[in-house]
């Protein structure tokens, strides 16, 4: 039984009922990686069959992008499609009309496609055709796709969207009740939510690690959690995997200015990847939620790749830090430089005040001036402007 998904399941059941009544269409299940999109699609299949639907389901990632019309073949295996399928023009239209005529009967049809954003272009074009035709037939096209910042093209044309996000704190506690005693679940639920960010994959892994360690959540984080972190990142792939590896291997050296200069990355890609990893529950404020996650990513990164990351980081950081240090010394006073460096390094106002032997009010006044002088809007931007490599001893000692 799914947890914290009542609203999403209600929408799916409503669309199925409408389709069974003759009003077809399309529905997209979207959300961060490993947050339960596949489970939601599967959960819709049983009620669909109970309503008399024919269910055709396929996972686009099984075919991948390299096999032209691979997804189409998996959805319509019963039709025994010819080996040489047309890709356009009148032959393609005739093929699509033939498939549609054979698949659509008086019985309602559910086409369920998992990981639609992993499908080949030709199959996506066919899906788009089915979505257009579904509006006037008892056909529901239901696809899942990852939510991606800055995405230019959706797998299928705009349709009703169901968002699946991380599980809330109460939902995590409910998941814990199914593995632990009620008292242990109530006590450990908030910590489980904090360490997992509500990602169901990470929650289940932590619960597996908790077997026999119900009183020591932090110490119980073990191999199940580490394996889940690696699985999540491999499933994410692309820039998200690359950024996570940079953050893990480089630690505090992996500040945005440096990441943006790594091969294949730019500011937009880094921001989108950090946002996506945060939404998936792996990062919090741009850092791994638990040291075990970072260690798991480091272990999954080959020795040669780790050495190359360190080499590039050293080369880039030298030039970046030198240039930024000059800019800071030119724009900010000595006191402002000390506050800016500590704030960029993650210190809170009270911590900065204590470290520099000044009042919190003075810290706030310095930060206001710093933001104005550097033309930035807050600490996130400040972290870009003041990488840890720009620190010198006189910047962090009381002045």
Q: What's the confidence (pLDDT) of residue 395?
A: 41
Q: What's the confidence (pLDDT) of residue 393?
A: 37
pLDDT at position 387 over 50: yes
Q: What's the confidence (pLDDT) of residue 394?
A: 42
What is the rounded average pLDDT of the residues 138-145?
93
Distance of CA 41 to the CA centre of its chain: 18
Q: What's the confidence (pLDDT) of residue 149?
A: 45
pLDDT at position 188 over 80: yes
pLDDT at position 344 over 90: no
Q: What's the confidence (pLDDT) of residue 140?
A: 94
Q: Comparing 320 with 238, which gets the higher pLDDT?
A: 238
Containing 139, the helix (H) or strand (E) segment is strand 139-146
Q: What's the confidence (pLDDT) of residue 185?
A: 92
Q: What's the confidence (pLDDT) of residue 46?
A: 92
Q: What's the confidence (pLDDT) of residue 224?
A: 94
Q: Comparing 331 with 46, which gets the higher pLDDT?
A: 46
Q: Which parts of 237-302 fold into alpha helices (H)? A: 238-250, 256-259, 267-279, 291-300
Going by pLDDT thresholds of 50, 70 and 90, the confidence category of residue 391 is very low
Give the pLDDT confidence of 296-343 residue by residue, as tens digits.
Answer: 999 999 888 888 877 776 666 555 454 455 566 677 887 888 888 788
What is the rounded average pLDDT of the residues 102-127?
88
Cβ atoms 20, 8 nearer than 8 A: no
Report how far residue 137's alpha carbon sits from residue 106's, in angstroms, rounded to the nearest whole number: 9
Going by pLDDT thresholds of 50, 70 and 90, the confidence category of residue 152 is very low
What is the rounded average pLDDT of the residues 103-131?
88
Going by pLDDT thresholds of 50, 70 and 90, the confidence category of residue 392 is very low
Using DSSP's 3-state secondary structure scheme, residue 131 falls into helix
- pTM here? 0.75
What is the rounded average pLDDT of the residues 179-184?
90
Instruction: Identify the weakest region by mean pLDDT among 91-100, 162-171, 322-331, 348-357.
Output: 322-331
Q: Comparing 127 with 157, which gets the higher pLDDT?
A: 127
Q: Which parts of 211-344 fold into alpha helices (H)? A: 217-220, 223-236, 238-250, 256-259, 267-279, 291-300, 303-331, 334-344
Report how far residue 371's alpha carbon sits from residue 124's, in angstroms, rounded to the nearest whole number: 46
User: 307 is written with which tokens?
Assistant: 């050495």
Q: What's the whole-number average pLDDT of the chain?
A: 83
By CB atoms closer than 10 A (0-12, 13-18, 19+), residue 317 is: buried
Report how far residue 297's alpha carbon sits from residue 306's, in angstroms, rounded to the nearest whole number: 11
What is the rounded average pLDDT of the residues 259-273?
77
Cβ atoms 156, 128 nearer than 8 A: yes
Report how far residue 238's alpha carbon sits from residue 240's, in angstroms, rounded to the nearest whole number: 5
- Alpha-carbon dihedral 288, 293, 294, 297, rounded to 10 degrees: -130
- What string of DSSP letters covers 48-85? HHHTT-EEEEEEHHHH-SSSTTHHHHHHTGGG---SS-
Q: What's the confidence (pLDDT) of residue 156?
A: 61
What is the rounded average pLDDT of the residues 166-171?
96
Report how far residue 225's alpha carbon sits from residue 293's, in angstroms, rounded to the nearest whole number: 8
Cβ atoms 118, 71 nearer than 8 A: no
Q: Is the dihedral of CA 183, 186, 187, 192 positive or negative?
A: positive
């Amino acid at each position: 039984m799914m947890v914290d998904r009542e609203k999403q399941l209600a929408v799916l059941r409503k669309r199925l009922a409408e389709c069974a009544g003759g009003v077809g269409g399309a529905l997209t299940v979207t959300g961060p990686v490993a947050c339960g999109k596949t489970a939601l699609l599967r959960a819709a299949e049983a009620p669909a069959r109970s309503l008399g639907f024919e269910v055709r389901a396929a996972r686009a990632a099984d075919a991948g992008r390299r096999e032209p019309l691979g997804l189409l073949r998996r959805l319509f295996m019963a039709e025994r499609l010819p080996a040489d399928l047309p890709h356009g023009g009148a032959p393609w239209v005739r093929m699509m009309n033939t498939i549609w005529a054979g698949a659509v009967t008086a019985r309602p049809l559910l086409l369920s496609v998992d990981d639609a954003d992993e499908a080949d272009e030709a199959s996506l074009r066919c899906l788009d055709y089915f979505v257009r035709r579904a509006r006037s037939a008892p056909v529901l096209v239901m696809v899942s796709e990852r939510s991606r910042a800055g995405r230019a093209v959706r797998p299928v044309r705009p349709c009703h969207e169901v968002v699946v996000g991380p599980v809330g704190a109460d939902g995590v506690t409910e998941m814990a009740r199914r593995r632990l005693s009620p008292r242990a679940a109530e006590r450990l639920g908030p910590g489980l939510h904090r360490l997992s960010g509500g990602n169901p994959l990470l929650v289940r892994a932590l619960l597996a690690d908790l077997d026999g360690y119900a009183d020591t959540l932090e110490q119980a984080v073990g191999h199940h959690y580490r394996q889940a972190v690696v699985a999540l990142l491999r499933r994410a792939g692309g820039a998200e995997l690359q950024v996570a590896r940079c953050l893990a291997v480089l630690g505090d050296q992996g500040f945005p200015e440096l990441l943006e200069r790594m091969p294949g990355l730019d500011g937009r890609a880094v921001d989108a990847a950090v946002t996506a990893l945060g939404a998936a529950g792996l990062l919090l404020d741009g850092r791994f939620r638990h040291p075990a996650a970072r260690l798991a990513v480091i272990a999954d990164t080959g020795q040669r790749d780790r050495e190359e990351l360190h080499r590039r980081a050293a080369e880039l950081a030298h030039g970046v830090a030198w240039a930024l240090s000059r800019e800071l010394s030119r724009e900010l006073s000595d006191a402002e430089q000390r506050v800016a460096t500590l704030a960029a390094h993650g210190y809170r106002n009270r911590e900065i005040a204590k470290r520099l032997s000044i009042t919190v009010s003075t810290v706030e006044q310095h930060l206001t001036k710093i933001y104005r002088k550097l033309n930035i809007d807050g600490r996130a931007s400040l972290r870009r402007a003041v990488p840890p490599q720009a620190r010198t001893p006189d910047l962090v000692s009381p002045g």
